[in-house]
Amino acid sequence: MSAQPARKLLVLPGDGIGPEVMREVGRVITWLEKNRGLTFEVTEDLVGGASLAEYGVPIRNEVIEKAREADAVLFGSVGDPRWSHVGFDKRPEVAILKLRQELELFANLRPAKVFDALVDASTLKPDVVRGLDIMIVRETVGGIYFGNPRGIETLADGSRRGVNTEVYTTSEIERVARVAFEMARKRSNHVCSVEKCNVMESGLLWKEVVTDLHAREFSDVTLSHMLADNCAMQLVRNPRQFDVIVTGNLFGDILSDLASMLTGSLGMLPSATLGAVQANGKSPALYEPIHGSAPDIAGQGIANPIAQILSFAMLLRYSFDLQEDAQMVEEAVSRVLESGLRTADIMSEGMARVGTSVMGEAIVRELDKLQG
Ligand code: IPM
Ligand code: MG
């Protein structure tokens, strides 16, 4: 049997609960190496507040270069209240924004899927969320996050003015919409494009470009349009009407947090951010949970590692086409939930409350059983 080449992973645990939940992914990686004949070459580095403390910057250029060379990046979370007063160029959050931008990771896939065992953990009625399976495709290198002009200026009268600009070009809209349409073809074949074309020119262009692309290349997919505020309302009223939602950076940020809570907890949802195929044939990709660094519970061993582990499952699927292994990890998570184990964020009556590492161990034990 010829040895498979090692798959190069850059692991960036970051701040807060990042390192704790990433440790549990380590167990899954070790298990896959032992039991599934896979080899990973794992390099770890600092980002966010952890990097600021050590190097004075949220991310070093060297780390961006390592990310470029890796087959995939597994990211934890960044954000640290100790750095909340520094300038925008120095905040921990710059680490993820710079990685997205430098690697041109423009399509952020944020699935919101409800596990049967967690139907009761949602704040919404079980009937509303049972069987829910939405994919939000969020644009991540454009829009108001990066548009110019931006900044805070002092006016002649001494008062100040803060400015950010929402900008989208035809090609930026097209490439992310294309990802959404292609994704829909593998799912329930419905894309809902979300903007605010009633008040924003960038939203009007968004709608026109998506409509044109649909007519040209994807007329087999059902396309609908929705204003972002209405979409927020519809997501809590009747979330199962959606299949794939495609939207810009800011609306996607907000709507994906909203959608994640339909599933019971922010601690459950993974994401994948994909870029275009590069000249060297590589497709840059970064995987991260939707949740943040949760400084309020960091270091207590109570964080839910599932979103981080499911992000790793997405990595297996999208970067390495290891469908069966990804499926096993997802199935192991599902079985652990069915067995009644719960971290604090998804705890409900009659279930067994466990900490981060017990949850991680339990998932690996389920993998053992699945492997037989
Ligand atoms: C996310 C986060 C980031 C974002 C922050 C940490 C910059 O909220 O990935 O959703 O706003 O994109
Ligand atoms: Mg967010």
CA 277 to chain centre: 20
CA of 257 from ligand 1 middle (Å) equals 10
Domain boundary among 211, 236, 268: 268
- The CATH number of the domain where 261 resides is what? 3.40.718.10
Over the range 79-101, which residues count as b (16 or more CB within 10 Å of their CB) and which as e?
bbeebeeeeeeebbbbbbbbbbb
Tell me if 71 is assigned to some domain.
Answer: yes
Q: What is the pLDDT of residue 3?
A: 60
pTM of this structure: 0.93
Reply yes or no on whether 287 is catalytic: no
* Catalytic residue status for 229: yes
Give the pLDDT of residue 88. Answer: 79
* Same domain (yes/no): 122, 261: yes
Helix/strand/coil for 121: helix
The ligand with the least distance to the CA atom of 270 is 1
CA-closest residue to ligand 1 atom 10: 253
97 and 214 assigned to the same domain: no
Ligand 1 close to Cβ of residue 253 (< 6 A): yes
Q: Which amino acid is at 138?
A: R
Task: Mention every residue, 6+ apart, whose C-beta is less than 8 A from residue 2.
Answer: none
Tell me what pLDDT residue 299 has.
97
Residue 333's domain comprises 1-103+284-372
Please report the pLDDT score of residue 87 as a whole number.
83
Ligand 1 contacts CB of residue 303 (under 6 A): no
Catalytic residue status for 257? yes
Contact 275, 286 (CB under 8 A): no
Pairing between β-strand 160-165 and β-strand 147-154 as defined by DSSP bridges: antiparallel
Residues 234 and 292 in one domain: no
Has residue 230 been placed in a domain? Answer: yes
* Domain end residue (candidates: 220, 238, 268): 268
pLDDT of residue 266: 85
Q: Is 8 a catalytic residue?
A: no
Q: Which protein residue's CA is at the shortest distance from atom 8 of ligand 1?
A: 253
| Lookup result for tokens 């981060």 | 356
In a domain, 50, yes or no: yes
Q: How many domains does the chain have?
A: 2
Please list the rounded mean pLDDT of every run of 10 residues in the chain (372 residues): 78 98 98 97 97 97 97 97 85 96 96 92 93 97 97 97 98 98 97 98 98 98 98 98 98 94 89 89 92 96 97 97 97 97 94 98 98 92
* Domain final residue pick, 268, 303, 327: 268
Is there a domain that residue 305 lies in?
yes
Confidence (pLDDT) at 282 = 81
